[in-house]
Chain A
Amino acid sequence: MSSAENKKLMQEIFAGLANRNGTLLIECMSEDFRWINIGTNKWSGTFDGKEAVLRDLLAPLRGKLIERSRTVAHRFIADDDYVVVEARGDNVTKAGRQYNNEYCFVFRLSDGKIRQVKEYSDTALIDTVLGDPKEMPAAG
């Protein structure tokens, strides 16, 4: 696909994410999809494979938030197989804290599928607000 087609696909995916709908994002992940978070906090590192991304990254994140996450993109920069998306989160944790991170996502696509994303965000904010992915807040 051309860079313009890749950009259009990412715009459609983020139209969903602005409405707390990640269905298209998940549909477009290849089976060998890889998600890389920068830094050295407890959410940092490489999640290899769509299944691991959903189970070890997105499910624990969902567990921290009062509702499905909302991410609002404000810029798309596409070149060849890459689409860079700058975005802001608009979320509240179950502990009642605002979690509005600023993201720069570098996506790599091929054949209409997302193969990889590297997420750059405010890792200090993740430490402070999200803490440990393995610690689940008490219900209610």
Chain B
Amino acid sequence: MSANENKKLMESIFARVAAGDRAAYVDCLADDVTMRVTGQYSWSRTFKGKAALVRELYGYLHTLLADGRRTIPLRFIADDDHVVVEARGNMETKAGVRYDNEYCLIYRLKDGKIVEIREYCDSALTEAVLGKFPEPAKAEN
């Protein structure tokens, strides 16, 4: 797919998730997707495979955050098989604390599926609001 088609796909995924269809995102993850949380903080690691990503990262976030969490895209930048999405979180923890992180998400796509993700965000905010990532679930980085 072209850069423009990849961009349109990511725009459509974010729009559908915003409309409440979270499966639109999960359906576009390749089975062997890898997601790396960049940096050197407690959340920094690579989640290997869709099952591990959904269970270990999104499953854990689901235990911390109130329902209705949103990631609002601000800009899409596409080149070849990469789409960069700058985004703003609009979330609240179950304890009622605001969690509005700033994200730069780098997606690599192949044949209409997301095969690689790198996340850059305000790691100090992540640890201040969500705490450290639990060690027992730690995957190899």
- What distance in Å separates the Cβ of A31 from its nearest Cβ neighbour in chain B? 24
Flag whether A102 is at the interface (Cβ < 8 A): yes
Known: A38-B102, A39-B122, A40-B122. A124 touches B84 (CB 8 A): no
Residue of A3, A103, A124 touching B41 (CB-CB under 8 A): A124
Cα–Cα, bound, A120→B119 (Å)? 10
Interface-side segment among B27-35, B52-60, B75-83: B75-83
| Residue in chain B with minimal CB distance to A100 | B40
Flag whether B15 is at the interface (Cβ < 8 A): no
| Residue in chain A with minimal CB distance to B121 | A120
Write the B77-93 contact mask toward A (1 if CB under 8 angstroms, else 0): 11110101010000000
Cα–Cα, bound, A76→B106 (Å)? 11
Q: How many residues of A contact B (CB 8 A)?
A: 29
- What distance in Å separates the Cβ of B16 from its nearest Cβ neighbour in chain A? 22
Q: How many residues of B contact A (CB 8 A)?
A: 28
Question: Which chain A residues numbered 20 to 43 have a C-beta less than 8 Å away from chain B?
Answer: 38-41
Known: A102-B120, A104-B120. A39 touches B125 (CB 8 A): yes
Cα–Cα, bound, A75→B34 (Å)? 17
Write the A119-135 contact mask toward B (1 if CB under 8 angstroms, else 0): 01111111100000000
Residue of B86, B106, B124 touching A124 (CB-CB under 8 A): B124
25 inter-chain pairs at a CB distance below 8 angstroms, sorted by A residue, are A38-B102, A39-B122, A76-B79, A77-B82, A77-B84, A77-B106, A78-B79, A79-B7, A79-B77, A79-B78, A79-B79, A82-B77, A84-B77, A84-B84, A102-B39, A103-B120, A106-B84, A118-B86, A120-B120, A121-B39, A121-B120, A122-B44, A123-B124, A124-B126, A127-B124
Q: Which B residues contact A (CB, under 8 angstroms)?
A: 3, 7, 38-41, 44, 75, 77-80, 82, 84, 86, 102-104, 106, 118, 120-127
